[in-house]
Amino acid sequence: MARATPHINDGVLTFRDAMHEHTIPVGSPLWWQWLAAETSTSFRFEHPLGHFTARRERKHDGWYWYAYRKRGRALRKAYLGKSADLTLDRLQRVAASLAARATPAGDPGASIAVSTPPAAARFPTGTVTFLFTDIEGSTTLWEQQPQAMSAALACHDAILREIITAHSGVVFKTVGDAFHAVFATAPAAIDAALALQRALHAEPAGSSCQLRVRLALHTGVAELREGDYFGPPLNRVARLLAAAHGGQILLSLATEQLVRDQLPPPVSVRDLGTYPLKDLRHPEQIFQLVTADLPVDFPPLHIPAASPPAVASLPLLSTKLTVPPARAKLVSRPRLLERLKTGVRGPLTLIAAPAGFGKTTSYPSLSKLKTQNSKLKTSLWRGSRSIPATMTRCASGAMLSARCRQYMPASAPTRWPCSSHHSFRR
C-alpha cells in the first residue's frame, strides 16, 4: 500500500511511516529534523489562504524546495527556499501568492509559470557593518552526533536567517555552518547580534537548537561584486571571529565607536585590550558586548602567539660600492670579457649573478675596457660627486630594468651620504 503524502493542516505536519502516524508542529526542532532527512522529498500544505504541494529539488549548488499549484490547465510554481527557510509564515505567504495568481490566458495547453528565487535583498554599500557567526565545536558535534547535528543545523539556520532579515540585514554567504551577513548601520547589526544570542540561549535544555555560536562585528568599506563582498574589512572580522568563544559577541574598535552612545541601558561594552591578529599589519582593540541576560565571562581570547619582530634589512650593495683591488693569479675569463664589451656599449650596464660567481673580481677588468661609455660608468662607481647629473646622463633615453631602478637609488646613499633616492628621479 502506497504511503500518503505528508500534509500540513493548522500548522501541524502529519505523516506515516511503516508502522505509525506522526504529528510535528511546523517550526519545532522535530520539523527541522524531518526536513533534513533524505526521505523527506515532498509534502502537501493546506491553509485558508491557499494550498500547494511542495517538492525538494536538486540544483547546481544544493537542494531547494518549490511549491506547485495547478489551476485549470496551468501549473504554477513558486520558490520556497532551502530547508532552513521553511517557517510557517513563509509557507502561508507562498500559499497566498499562488492563490492570487490568475491562470495565463491565450494558452489552451498546460503551462508553467515559474517564480524564481527572490532577488537578493538590496546589498548595502559604502561604510557597512559585517556580522560573522560560527558554531563552536561543530566538527566534533558532526562526528559524535550526525543525526542530531543535522536537525540542530537546520534550526540554527532558520533562527539566524529570520533574525538577520528582521533587522534589515542580508546574508550574503554561508560557509559550512558559518554565516556572513551585512548591515547598513552598526546599531542594526548590534541589535541582530543580541537577538541571535538571546534566541539561541532561550532554547530549552537538551534542544537540538542549543548550540554555542560565536559572533564578531566589524565596520568598514568593502567592494561589492556579484552579491559578495571583498576587501580588508572581511579579513579583519574573520580574524576577530576566530578569537571569540561560543556565546561571545566581539566588536572591533571601528564598530564600538559607532555604537557606544547608542546602546540601550542594559547593554554595554567591555574593553578586552589590544591584540595582534594573524596576518594583519595593525593590531585591533577588541571589545565584548555585555548584557545581563547573556553569559559575560569567557576564557582568554584565542589569540595566536605574536610573530617575532621583522629583522631590518641591510642596505642594498653596501659592500660593493668601491672598486676592489686587482688580485694576482686571477683566472682569465675571455668569453665573459667579450660579453661585457658588448654590454657596455649601451647607456647603462647591470651585471647580475648569484653570490660567488665573480661579479666583484671582474670589475677591475671591466674598468679597463675602452669603450665610449666606460669612463662614464667608471667615474660613477669611483665616486663622482655630481651624482644627479651623472645618473641623468646615464639613464637618458634608456629603458632601465625594474631591478636596476631599485638597486641604484637604494645603494647610492651608502657610498655618497649626501645623496638621497630623490636624486635619481628621471
- CA nearest 273: which of 286, 254, 260? 286
The secondary structure of 39-64, three-state, reads CCCEEEEEECCEEEEEEEEEECCEEE
Give the pLDDT of residue 97. 81
The alpha helices in 65-209, defined as continuous H runs, are 88-100, 138-144, 146-166, 186-201
Give the pLDDT of residue 389. 38
Give the pLDDT of residue 207. 59
Asked if residue 398 has pLDDT above 50, the reply is no
Q: Is 178 helix (H, G, I), strand (E, B) or coil?
A: strand
- CA nearest 293: which of 265, 266, 321? 266
User: Please, what's the b/e burial string for 395-411 (b: 16 or more CB within 10 A of its CB; e: otherwise)?
Assistant: beeeebeeebeebbbbb
Mean pLDDT of 232-241: 95
Give the pLDDT of residue 75. 85
Asked if residue 320 has pLDDT above 60, the reply is no
Percent of the chain at pLDDT exceeding 70: 68
Give the pLDDT of residue 297. 92
How distant, in Å, are the alpha carbons of 57, 101, 111, 255 from that of 97?
20, 7, 17, 40
> Quick one: CA torsion of 56, 58, 63, 67, rounded to 10 degrees?
-30
- CA nearest 409: which of 393, 387, 382? 387
At the topology level, CATH places domain 127-291 in Alpha-Beta Plaits (3.30.70)
**Whether 56 contacts 41, CB under 8 Å:** yes
Give the pLDDT of residue 228. 87
Cα separation, 150 vs 35, in Å, equals 10
Q: What is the mean pLDDT of the chain?
A: 76
Mean pLDDT of 190-198: 92
pLDDT single digits (tens) 90-135: 888 888 888 876 444 444 333 444 444 444 447 899 999 999 999 9
**Whether 383 contacts 289, CB under 8 Å:** no
pTM of the model: 0.51
pLDDT single digits (tens) 248-270: 999 999 999 999 998 988 899 99
**Whether 333 contacts 365, CB under 8 Å:** yes
pLDDT single digits (tens) 27-75: 887 888 888 888 899 999 998 888 999 999 887 667 888 999 987 778 8
Cα separation, 280 vs 223, in Å, equals 19
How distant, in Å, are the alpha carbons of 16, 41, 43, 119 from that of 2?
11, 15, 15, 39
Q: Is 211 helix (H, G, I), strand (E, B) or coil?
A: coil
User: Please, what's the b/e burial string for 343-361 (b: 16 or more CB within 10 A of its CB; e: otherwise)?
Assistant: bbeebbbebeeeeeeeeee
Cα separation, 288 vs 267, in Å, equals 11
Domain layout of the chain by residue ranges? 7-114, 127-291, 334-424
Mean pLDDT of 187-201: 91
Going by C-beta distance under 8 Å and a sequence separation of 6 or more, which residues neighbour residue 260?
Answer: 269
Higher pLDDT, 392 or 308: 308
Residue 226 DSSP code: T
Give the pLDDT of residue 107. 40
pLDDT single digits (tens) 144-157: 888 788 778 888 88
Side chain identity, residue 69: R
